Structure 1
Amino acid sequence: MLFSFAPLWLLSLLATLTQQPTAQAPVVAPTLEWNARRPLTWADFKARPNTDRLEALTSSTIDAKVGCVDYQFSAQVTAVFRPSESWVRHPAQASAALLRHEQVHFDLTELHARLLRQKLSLVKLDCEKLQPAFSNLTKMAFLTWQREEARYDQESNHGLNAARQQAWEQQVQQRLVQLEAFALK
């Protein structure tokens, strides 16, 4: 599992906060937004393997865009999958169980996007002092997400421990249901 939020996320945050256009917009590879009706398929994994240690890798992130209009704070938080950074070693031989493991990585990204949406709905952010408050809030959210992703791989042994894998699948689905109010419509 690859975690990132800084480069593109930070650029979008800074551009939104300053309300000034950037000289040249960064080239962004196509991504897939998390959608309960559209699970990942092996065809979504477009990159070449870059390590011998794993059979597959899901690159996903939480894209957070914020801004203030007439001193009213607004945020858009989306869980996204990056096909150009995600890979499977042997697509023709890759198992459905391995794909389920990778899907749970993406589901965890959505789960933590919902938790961030929940936090943002509860806090009152001052538009004049937005940067430090928002930065601190998101740093904690991303740290929590990254720790849970690492714990998932460790406890499920990257999906090889079938019982723990199944337990994680069920737990993540239950938590997604509990946070349904914070799903994108």
Structure 2
Amino acid sequence: MLTSLTLNLFLLLLNLLRPASEVPLVLRPVAPGFGPALFSITAVRDERPGRPAVALLLPATAAAGTTTAAQPVELRNGTAAALQQFATATLPAATTGRYPITLRALDLQVRETPGPNGAANGTIALHMAFEWRNAEGRTSTLTEYRGAARYGRTRANRAVVETALSQAVLGGLRHFNGWLTTAAAHDIRLATAVQPTFRYDIRQTEPDTLFYDPARPLAWADFTGMPRSKGQYAAAVFPSFGYRTRPRVSQGVVVLDIELQVYVVRTSSWVAEGQRTAYNLNHEQRHFDIVRLVAERFRRKVGPDSLTVADYQSILGWQYLDSFREMNRLQDQYDRETSGGTDATAQNRWNQRIATELRGFGVIK
């Protein structure tokens, strides 16, 4: 049975025989050489397979009879913390960065082999990914960076390793800032908001399509369809509306140009013989006006606060379908309450109601 003194002597001897652990490498802040930084590194994840020691360095001395095998060396405080501290200290401090970025370390390794006259030759391999989570909670890996470097050193001078490694990491940060500077102007993943803009198609160049223009109301010449021989209506018009979008990204905002089309198809519109009166034409014009009112309400449903970067097209489509159903309900209500235009009193009420709403939206004065 070992005594306490014997055990202590045994442990001391064991520690003396064990190779001394290598002092960790330090990533030291360097002058960034660019600015301002459009981003900040708010988190680092070490995703290297197996998370081995970052470096395999040759020992400082290679005396006769001693091993020349490279020894594992870590970064001080661990890989993730070291990269985080380096980025925080190195990136220009004049800005906090518009984009908070998570840096994913996919590969980071330093490997040394013996060189002439007892020197060490080193290679550095680096693979990083830059991830961003926008305000809507959507996470995107924006881009990746692969870098490599070589160096040579005397075995006693480990500062060369730290300098070369720091410069390699800086190269990744510099590359990402350059990428971000260019991509922010057009990459929709970097957008933080949606700003819709609207305009109406008022062309009068289509032979069969009349687009709504307050300055160009319906005329009987627009009713080119074959009239029905029987029925309760003196005339019929079938207005509708649609939209076209053209998204573009400008300074982190999706500018959504929306062209609204309120229209009547001439060949689907008809008037019975002997019914080309001003009263009947007014009734059909109000059908057209109702669609314009619905389009104006649709505009106000899809403001900046209602659209998200991730789903603005689906939100726009859903609101359009809802407005389309509203249009059909109003058209049916209008014909039902005016008895297809034959109830002059009800027609007058609808005339006033529609005109008031058109003025409220600024469509007419």
State the TM-score, normalized to the length of structure 2: 0.40
After the TM superposition, which residues 20-169 of structure 1 pair with which residues of structure 2 at under 5 Å, given as runs?
Answer: 30-50=208-228, 52-53=230-231, 54-70=233-249, 71-90=254-273, 92-169=274-351
Q: CA offset at residue 50 of structure 1?
A: 4.6
The residue aligned with 2:203 is none
Q: Is the 8 A contact 1:77 1:116 kept in 2?
A: no
Q: CA offset at residue 171 of structure 1?
A: 0.5
Q: 1:121 to 1:159 in 2, by over 3 A?
A: same
Structure 2: unaligned runs, 5 residues or longer? 1-205
Instruction: Give the whole-Å Cα distance in 2 for the aligned partners of 1:47 and 1:30.
Output: 10
Q: CA offset at residue 133 of structure 1?
A: 1.1
Instruction: Give the whole-Å Cα distance in 1 for the aligned partners of 2:340 and 2:355.
Output: 18
Cα displacement string for residues 49-92 of structure 1 (whole angstroms, at most 9, x for unaligned residues) = 257322211121112112311233221112112112111121x4
2:303 alignment partner, SS class = helix
The residue aligned with 1:8 is none
Cα displacement string for residues 100-129 of structure 1 (whole angstroms, at most 9, x for unaligned residues) = 100100011111111112222354423442
Q: Provide the alpha-carbon RMSD of the alignment.
A: 2.1
Question: Which sits farther off after the overlay, 151-160 or 34-43?
Answer: 34-43
Rg larger in structure: 2
Q: CA offset at residue 132 of structure 1?
A: 2.2
Letter in 1 for 2:264: F
Report which of the two has the higher share of strand: 2
Q: Is the 8 A contact 2:243 2:258 kept in 1?
A: yes
Q: Is the 8 A contact 2:235 2:275 kept in 1?
A: no
Cα displacement string for residues 117-159 of structure 1 (whole angstroms, at most 9, x for unaligned residues) = 2222354423442332112111111111110110000000010
Q: Is the 8 A contact 1:68 1:127 kept in 2?
A: no
Instruction: Give the whole-Å Cα distance in 2 for the aligned partners of 1:62 and 1:93.
Output: 27
Task: Count residues with an aligned counterpart.
Answer: 154
State the TM-score, normalized to the length of structure 1: 0.75
Letter in 1 for 2:261: T
Q: Is the 8 A contact 1:39 1:103 kept in 2?
A: yes
Report which of the two has the higher share of helix: 1
Runs of 4+ in structure 1 deviating by more than 6 angstroms, as ranges, are: none
Q: Is the 8 A contact 2:234 2:275 kept in 1?
A: no
Higher relative contact order (CA 8 A, sep 6+): 1
Q: 1:127 to 1:57 in 2, by over 3 A?
A: farther
1:35 alignment partner, SS class = coil
The residue aligned with 2:153 is none
The residue aligned with 1:7 is none
Q: Is the 8 A contact 2:289 2:354 kept in 1?
A: yes
The residue aligned with 2:361 is 179
